[in-house]
Amino acid sequence: MSRPRAAILGCAGPDLTPDERAFFRDVDPLGYILFARNVDTPERTRRLVEDLRSAVARADAPVLIDQEGGRVARLRPPHWRKVPPARLLGELYARDPERGLEATRLNSRLLAADVATVGCDVDCLPVLDIAFPETHAVIGDRAYADRPEPVAALGRAAAEGLLAEGVMPVIKHIPGHGRATVDSHHALPTVSAPRDLLERTDFLPFKLLSDLPWAMTGHLLFEAIDPAACITVSARGVQEVIRGHIGFDGLLLSDDLSMQALGGSLGDRARRALAAGCDVALHCNGQMNEMVEIATQTGPMTEAAGQRFDAGRGFLARHRDPAGKAGLADAGRRLASLLPEWG
């Protein structure tokens, strides 16, 4: 059986068009990602997800969403709950670690339940970037804390909550976006910190959570790692740091290739990311001309990537422990008692 294309793609709106359906059928991407432009009512969004999977004739094609909480939430009231940002959970952890971990785990169970209402099965969470004084606002309160150990502990709790409810977590932005002083959506951040410092700080949360099945790269250039290339398209960065020092051997996604941190054509970005060692090229904006270009430079997933994907499915199955309707209701009440300031 042939493997799907090493790409995860988006679509333009809340309904799948005939042209999109035909394109996805022909190129057979591994899966999809939803953004706010794709989200309407739960029923309409669920129908979109069903149509996306139908286009590739794979009912289990992964469908991703960025449902972190705070500013980064594609599912919002009135149909879904308002979700606290990571920083608020980190502040609770700083006051009371046990309660902070419990709140984070409960919050992620509820996040998983929300994304499952539309059929998504992958949530691009937890963010393991550290909040430094210079950290750009694009990360801001998406970071749990300003030290690696709390970030790792809270990230682990967040991943556990998602896994328990049957949703795949994605650790990001490996090997660490915290020192970026510009927004990688618009420009390439350059980090000049020495490697030994990076290994003690930025890289450490990812190393501590390297057993998790999926990760997403950060679009940054680390001068101490590869002064010529952004991590996403750097073989040295992927092999020496992500696979080597950090020890991550799960499915590695590029961050969104349409972000302006990366130069060159869209096809060139996809080709370079896969050549560097990313398993899957991620493209999010749903623009057909760009997706066509991505498709010309991506082939089927490699055998190693397929094995990592399958291993991730097994990992998820082993950790699934759903709370059920009553248990989720209890989780909501308990989370409200732990975070009364959130409401």
| Catalytic residue numbers, as ranges | 185, 255
Q: 């990360």: which residue's tokens? A: 139
Query: Looking at the chain, which runs of residues are DSSP E strands?
Result: 5-9, 29-34, 63-65, 67-69, 72-73, 122-123, 168-169, 171-174, 190-191, 214-217, 221-222, 251-253, 281-282
**Helix pair 266-276, 288-296: axis angle to 10 deg:** 40
Phi (first) and psi of residue 7, to 5 degrees: -150, 145
Q: Do the beta carbons of residue 116 and residue 160 sit within 8 Å?
A: no
Phi (first) and psi of residue 150, to 5 degrees: -60, -40
Considering only CA atoms, which of 280, 284, 258, 282 is closest in space to residue 34? 284
- Give the other-Cβ count within 10 Å of 95's Cβ: 8
Rg, the chain, Cα only: 19
> Coil, strand or helix: which one is 246?
coil
What is the rounded CA–CA span in Å between residue 99 and residue 122? Answer: 26
- Give the other-Cβ count within 10 Å of 247's Cβ: 12
